[in-house]
Amino acid sequence: MHHTPPVLLVIAHGSRDPRHAATVHALVREVRAQRPGVRVETAFLEFNIPSVRGVLESLAAEGVRDVVALPLLLTRAFHAKSDIPAVLREAPRALRIRQADVLGPSPLLLSALERRLYEAGLTPADKPTTGVVLASAGSSDPEAIAVIAEIAREWRHTGWCAVRPAFASASLPRTADAVRELRALGCERVAVAPYVLAPGRLPDRIAQGAAEADVLADVLGPAPDVARVLVRRYQEALVRELAAAVGA
């Protein structure tokens, strides 16, 4: 009997900015290309359609039984801990849903950040003389902030002159302050790497804060490395359940 793998439901936050949904859909197309045997659906928490509830109800009506819900988020902040589990609890009873882990941290995301910096004009030879601002959207969740700071520390060890975290909202420092700090440290050039998945209000704020930087990279978007992280989180959710079943 042919076993159909669980549907991968990618849950994005959503935004009033149309570039956000367009980028999410481009990333999901990249995931489909990497895992052609898996059905991948997209849903949004707010601002965009389809809604998470709407997609789950459609899947149940079709007779789908197994779903892996993957938060399209870089850190385990409020949406991953509270919003998404609350929406999933309201899903049709016929569905068996596993919530996968958020995307970050992951070495693949660091390679995606570097890809974007090289696309913006840097080369690997520039690393020792370049300071990088790891610019994230920001969060009021201390765990999420600590993770960003740890990623910056790890990334620094790969050869950059210095790496500093910065935040577009909810926490400090801001991008412009981190740029000035790297200048004061004596880095020959300063680059801003947005640690965000899609364009929108907060990424625009990061770009404004990068006015005095030499290089501004693009958002992570549909980079192949990002899609690989989604595929990996999907597989990990399945392996975790298998391990739990074996141990039961």
What was the pLDDT predicted at 82? 84
The reported pLDDT for the residue numbered 119 is: 98
| pLDDT of 1 | 43
Instruction: Kindly report the pTM of this predicted structure.
Output: 0.93
For residue 248, the model assigns a pLDDT of 53
Burial group, residue 5, by CB count within 10 angstroms (0-12, 13-18, 19+): middle
Cβ-Cβ contacts under 8 Å for 152 (sequence gap 6 or more) = 134, 163, 164, 165
Phi and psi at residue 106, to the nearest 5° = -155, 140
Q: Spell out the per-residue pLDDT of the chain, length 248, in tens.
A: 457 999 999 999 999 999 999 999 999 999 999 999 999 999 999 999 999 999 999 999 999 999 999 999 999 876 778 889 999 999 999 999 999 999 999 999 999 999 999 999 999 999 999 999 999 999 888 888 999 999 999 999 999 999 999 999 988 999 999 999 999 999 999 999 999 999 999 999 999 999 999 999 999 999 999 999 999 999 999 998 777 766 65
